[in-house]
Amino acid sequence: PVIVTVLAVRPHPIYPSQHALSARRCRVAEPESAVESFGADAAEVGWLVECPSHPGNSGAPVLDARGRLRGLLHAGSAPADGVAVTSALGALLGR
């Protein structure tokens, strides 16, 4: 599986003027599984699984194993579901 790193800046839960940078590793999903669930347009974006996202994470950079910017986080499900949508990641999957 292809693993990427998603960076996010989040406000501190108690002190909103303070922010923290966090990094999490996420698995890139094959687009075929998204197409089965959501239709042909789902192949035009990237899908990350086991990748919780929180409000305010939109625009977070998606980095490959060498630290190169490969996409941006656009949307995510509730942290329990752990599915995120990014800009296209086809090059990471050899497409």
**Biggest alpha carbon distance in the chain?**
44
Give the per-residue pLDDT at 90.
Answer: 67
Residue 54 in this model has a pLDDT that exceeds 60: yes
- β 46-49/61-63 pair status: unpaired
pLDDT at position 61 is: 93
Distance CA(9)–CA(31), nearest Å, equals 27
